[in-house]
């Protein structure tokens, strides 16, 4: 019997696998995922679920695309791999970089490929430091990010990530990383009556730069919509003010488009909504719709010229074996073909508007504090008290109960800090979008009702 035909069990998994965010207690509700088609996924019992998070915010073109498998097969059979270190290259990597220069922000025309989001964060941070050193400012090394940001979990990326749950068992964090408040329209407290919430939140960046000293700050990194932190969509005047501040103090603006890239928000890239451009952008996930790992960064023409302008002895000594992997780049090209041919960016905008309209009707529920979204990326924030915006106490375990309740009703997604995140594949039909809304309408009051009962009967 070949290893692939031997039956696998969760005991074998337990014996041999460490999972992301590993803990044995998670086995109580483990599913073995077997197949997918469009917006649906099927587990080993044959049950079908709506993939409410497009895998992990990445399966933009939906599951089961033979075309992507064919692109990988063809490239593997031709040239599976050879090094793209300086002095070598390959056709799919060249074509993909050229293609991206036409799709991404106008001043971003030069790309470096990685295998995922965290490697892209590392590449952005190192490139920002390199840039300032090349310009004779070696002390500009700090990176500012936001609370509730997610930039990956390698050491520097984890240090930029603004979700403290990820830190304690891996401290110390990389020095030189600090956080400002997120521009959360629901929870940000604007103490400056003279300006809008968006401008006040952006001004936190100016305060931090001045406090640290502009000559010590290399870059500010921001997701256009904070995803894993609970889908925080900033007010429209936030990023224009951020751009102004970065320019004023010579701080590079890094757009983390790992989730927001490739159509998720209803535009190709997240800052396209605001008519501003970053100095460095990073992407992963949707570039291959998760069919094969690929990420990368794009640098502005100004940054590229600085990289190209140093003497050879000071070259950009940054590398990954799999940078420019031909098979991954070939799949990305086929994925972009699908996004364009099926107008999936426009579809994300239209489907997203329908989703948000539906979800907003849930705001009438006494435990739904806030609903927000942009394109096919939305969140419903569940609170214990709408007046104070207090969350349910941790002992209730509401986050897991919401996730389980939704899963029991056939909707797979993730809940963070009691924000139910919804980001299905961009191909999701109107009928399925409506089912997602109805599943939430049914699940939230039931789960919250049980949580309230539990609290009422728990001795103080």
Ligand X SMILES: Cc1ncc(COP(=O)(O)O)c(C=O)c1O
Residues at the contact surface with ligand X, assessed by CB under 6 A: 116-118, 121, 150-152, 223, 227-228, 256, 258-259, 284
Residue closer to ligand X, measured from CB, 199 or 329: 329
- H or E, element range at 416: strand 414-416
Residue 116 burial (CB count, 10 A): 18
Residue closer to ligand X, measured from CB, 141 or 153: 153
- Distance of closest approach, residue 152 Cβ to ligand X, in angstroms: 3
Residue closer to ligand X, measured from CB, 51 or 223: 223
Per-residue burial over 284-323, b = 16 or more CB atoms within 10 Å of its CB, e = otherwise: bbbbbbbbbbbbbbbbbeebbebbeeeeeeeebeeebebb
- Distance of closest approach, residue 438 Cβ to ligand X, in angstroms: 27
Residue closer to ligand X, measured from CB, 114 or 439: 114
Separation of alpha carbons 224 and 236, rounded Å: 11
Strands (DSSP E) contained in 289-356 are: 295-300
Dig out the tokens for 416 from the structure: 């963070």
Residue closer to ligand X, measured from CB, 182 or 383: 182
- Distance of closest approach, residue 295 Cβ to ligand X, in angstroms: 6
- Residue 295: which of 80, 37, 56 has the closest Cα? 56
Residue closer to ligand X, measured from CB, 324 or 358: 324
Contact 284, 294 (CB under 8 A): yes
- Distance of closest approach, residue 293 Cβ to ligand X, in angstroms: 7
Dig out the tokens for 61 from the structure: 């073109």
- Distance of closest approach, residue 456 Cβ to ligand X, in angstroms: 37
- H or E, element range at 112: strand 108-114
Separation of alpha carbons 30 and 251, rounded Å: 44
- Distance of closest approach, residue 223 Cβ to ligand X, in angstroms: 5
How far from chain centre, in Å, is Cα 436? 21
- Residue 93: which of 269, 268, 320 has the closest Cα? 320
Separation of alpha carbons 176 and 161, rounded Å: 13
- Distance of closest approach, residue 154 Cβ to ligand X, in angstroms: 7
**In this chain, which residue has its C-beta nearest to ligand X?**
117
Report how far apart, in Å, the C-alpha atoms of 23 and of each of 14, 20, 30 are.
10, 9, 11
Residue closer to ligand X, measured from CB, 184 or 256: 256
- Distance of closest approach, residue 20 Cβ to ligand X, in angstroms: 8
- Distance of closest approach, residue 123 Cβ to ligand X, in angstroms: 11
Contact 355, 436 (CB under 8 A): yes
- Residue 93: which of 84, 103, 105 has the closest Cα? 84
Residue closer to ligand X, measured from CB, 20 or 313: 20
Dig out the tokens for 75 from the structure: 């490239």
Residue closer to ligand X, measured from CB, 271 or 396: 271
């Amino acid at each position: 019997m070949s290893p692939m035909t031997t039956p696998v069990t969760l005991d074998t998994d337990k014996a041999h696998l460490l999972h992301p965010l590993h803990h044995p207690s998670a086995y109580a509700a483990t599913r073995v995922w077997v197949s997918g088609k469009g917006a649906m996924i099927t587990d080993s019992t044959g049950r079908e679920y709506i993939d409410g998070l497009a895998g992990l915010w990445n399966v933009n073109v939906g599951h089961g695309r033979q075309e992507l498998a064919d692109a990988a097969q063809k490239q593997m059979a031709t040239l599976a791999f050879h090094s793209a270190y300086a002095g070598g290259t390959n056709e799919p990597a060249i074509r993909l970089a050229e293609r991206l220069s036409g799709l991404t922000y106008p001043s971003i025309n030069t790309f470096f490929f990685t295998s995922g989001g965290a490697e892209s964060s590392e590449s952005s941070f190192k490139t920002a430091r390199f840039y300032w050193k090349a310009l004779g400012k070696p002390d500009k090394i700090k990176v500012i990010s936001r609370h509730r940001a997610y930039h990956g979990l390698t050491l520097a990326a984890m240090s930029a990530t603004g979700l403290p749950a990820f830190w304690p068992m891996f401290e110390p964090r990389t020095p030189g990383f600090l956080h400002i408040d997120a521009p959360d329209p629901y929870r940000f407290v604007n103490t400056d009556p003279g300006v809008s919430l968006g401008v006040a939140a952006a001004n936190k960046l100016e305060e931090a730069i001045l406090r640290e000293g502009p000559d010590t700050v290399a870059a500010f990194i921001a997701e256009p919509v904070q995803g894993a932190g609970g889908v925080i969509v900033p007010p429209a005047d936030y990023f224009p003010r951020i751009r102004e501040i970065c320019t004023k103090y010579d701080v590079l603006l890094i757009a983390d488009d790992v989730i927001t890239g490739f159509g998720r928000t209803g535009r190709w890239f997240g800052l396209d909504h605001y008519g501003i451009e970053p100095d460095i952008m990073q992407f992963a996930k949707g570039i291959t719709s998760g069919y094969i790992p690929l990420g990368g960064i794009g640098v502005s023409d100004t940054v590229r010229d600085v990289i190209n302008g140093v003497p050879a002895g000071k070259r950009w000594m940054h590398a990954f074996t799999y940078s420019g992997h031909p098979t991954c780049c070939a799949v990305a090209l086929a994925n972009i073909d699908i996004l364009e041919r099926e107008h999936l960016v426009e579809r994300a905008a239209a489907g997203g508007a329908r989703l948000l309209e539906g979800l907003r009707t849930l705001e009438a529920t006494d435990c739904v504090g806030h609903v927000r979204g942009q394109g096919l990326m939305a969140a419903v924030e569940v609170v214990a008290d709408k007046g104070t915006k207090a969350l349910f106490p941790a002992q209730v375990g509401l986050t897991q109960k919401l996730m389980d309740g939704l899963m029991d009703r056939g909707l797979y997604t993730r809940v963070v800090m009691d924000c139910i995140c919804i980001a299905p594949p961009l191909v999701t039909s109107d009928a399925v979008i409506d089912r997602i809304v109805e599943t939430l309408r049914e699940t939230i009051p039931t789960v919250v009702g049980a949580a309230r009962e539990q609290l009422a009967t728990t001795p103080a």
